[in-house]
């Protein structure tokens, strides 16, 4: 940004005080409350957008986020507390009309897009050109392969090719080094996060017979469909029901394939809609490449996620449940091994609005600006 230092160095130049006081990594930064990281948020009225604002508003290293809208957006609300009275009494969360220059003048460091894919596809390149760092919660920039992006129906604009190539997939447990220097960060999908985190350690260790095929049977609360109402997400339609959808065509399939490095013929992913507000449980069935013990499988998970604060390994002792990770940024992983040691079932749970969306976005912001991954999320 013109006239401002960006990233960690710029933040260091603007702050002072005790880093331990604010939960930062030892020696990383110093911080004062009146000289903090400044975020801006597009799409604050959605479920993920609201959770994002709530997390940023209490983040020890960030000042109150600027909420940005274009003409006619934000549902006619002047202040976010009108849509979410939970925020009332905190000095207000007013919307500001969109202007890159005003955002620069306000000292914005990072721009979050909690918006539809088309919106992010349009405005993220502009934000990058203006010198802002971007964290996008949509699927606009997650996929590298054209055939996988086709599910979104984007026009393949040659001008977007450099950003498609350079955008970092924001799964901190796999890409922390790349995230730290990212200009455009693509926050992962909620289903994809639950599946990739469960499978990555075993696939990289060579335990999974990928050619035999992997079955991912995932269930999500209805908030995963977003805030815009539809006949499929109406209370009368979902209450007391349980249904599969988007079989052989869900948008998150490409993320799983690309991040795990497997072919489409090796994955069957079927999402289901649970009649609950939030939470994801993925049950993943694999054939093992060779007989192994529970201890070997558990150690692969424990070793892979050593030092990763937002993954909890339950191992074979107890399987995760949605209620354990609800309203947290944790992804919980457990498994059961067949008596012959040739087959295993992984169970992965997370909150789709936190580790599956807003919480992971804040975790990524922490990494991008040299903060402790846990800051603002405990």
From CA 219, how far away is CA 241, in angstroms rounded?
A: 12
Percent of the chain with pLDDT over 90: 70
Q: According to the model, what pLDDT value does residue 248 have?
A: 85
Domain chopping of the chain, boundaries: 7-187+357-368, 191-350
Q: How confident is the model at residue 315 (pLDDT cuts 50, 70, 90)?
A: confident
Q: Where are the alpha helices (DSSP H) in the chain?
A: 7-14, 47-57, 80-83, 100-105, 117-129, 146-149, 161-166, 172-180, 190-204, 235-238, 253-260, 294-304, 322-325, 358-368
Is pTM beyond 0.85? Reply is yes
The reply to whether CATH 3.40.50.970 applies to domain 7-187+357-368 is no
Tell me the CATH class for 191-350: alpha beta
For the segment 55-70, the average pLDDT, to the nearest whole number, is: 94
From CA 64, how far away is CA 48, in angstroms rounded?
A: 17
Name the catalytic one among 19, 28, 177, 190.
190
For residue 10, pLDDT beyond 80:
no
For residue 243, pLDDT beyond 90:
no
For residue 31, pLDDT beyond 70:
no
Q: According to the model, what pLDDT value does residue 7 have?
A: 46
For residue 297, pLDDT beyond 80:
yes
pLDDT digits over 338-355, tens only? Answer: 999 999 999 999 999 999
Number of other residues whose CB lies within 10 A of the CB of residue 287? 16
Catalytic residue flag (residue 190): yes
Q: According to the model, what pLDDT value does residue 74 have?
A: 59
pLDDT digits over 110-120, tens only? Answer: 999 999 999 99
Which residues make Cβ contacts (< 8 Å) with residue 62, sequence separation at least 6? Answer: 36, 37, 38, 39, 56, 365, 376
For residue 32, pLDDT beyond 70:
no
Q: How confident is the model at residue 71 (pLDDT cuts 50, 70, 90)?
A: low
For residue 2, pLDDT beyond 70:
no
């Amino acid at each position: 940004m013109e006239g401002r230092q960006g990233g960690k160095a710029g933040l260091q130049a603007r702050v002072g005080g005790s880093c331990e006081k604010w939960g930062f990594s030892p020696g990383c930064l110093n911080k004062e409350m009146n000289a903090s990281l400044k975020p801006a948020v597009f799409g604050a009225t959605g479920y993920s957008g609201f959770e994002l604002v709530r997390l940023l508003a209490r983040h020890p290293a960030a000042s109150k986020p600027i909420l940005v809208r274009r003409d006619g957006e934000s549902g006619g609300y002047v202040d976010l507390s009108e849509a979410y009275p939970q925020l009332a009494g905190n000095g207000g969360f007013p919307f500001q009309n969109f202007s890159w220059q005003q955002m620069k003048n306000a000292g914005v460091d990072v721009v979050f897009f909690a918006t539809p894919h088309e919106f992010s596809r349009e405005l993220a390149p502009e934000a990058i050109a203006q010198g802002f760092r971007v964290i996008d919660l949509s699927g606009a920039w997650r996929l590298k392969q054209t055939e996988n992006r086709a599910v979104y129906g984007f026009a393949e604009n040659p001008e977007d090719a450099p950003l498609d190539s350079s955008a970092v997939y924001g799964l901190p447990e796999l890409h922390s080094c790349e995230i730290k220097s990212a200009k455009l960060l693509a926050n992962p999908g909620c289903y994809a996060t639950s599946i990739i985190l469960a499978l990555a350690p075993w696939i990289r260790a060579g335990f999974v017979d990928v050619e035999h095929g992997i079955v991912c049977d995932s269930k999500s609360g209805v908030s995963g469909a977003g805030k815009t109402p539809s006949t499929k997400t109406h209370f009368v339609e979902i209450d007391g029901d349980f249904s599969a959808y988007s079989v052989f065509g869900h948008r998150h399939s490409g993320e799983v394939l690309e991040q795990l490095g497997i072919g489409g013929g090796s994955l069957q992913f079927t999402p289901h809609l649970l009649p609950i507000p939030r939470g994801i449980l993925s049950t993943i069935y694999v054939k093992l490449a060779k007989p192994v013990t529970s201890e070997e499988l558990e150690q692969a998970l424990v070793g892979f996620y050593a030092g990763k604060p937002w993954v909890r390994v339950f191992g074979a002792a107890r399987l995760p449940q949605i209620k354990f990770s609800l309203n947290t940024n944790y992804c919980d992983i457990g498994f059961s091994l067949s008596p012959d040691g040739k087959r295993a079932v992984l169970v992965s749970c997370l909150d789709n609005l936190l580790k599956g969306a807003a919480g992971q976005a804040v975790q990524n912001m922490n990494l991008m600006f040299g903060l402790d991954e846990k800051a603002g999320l405990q």
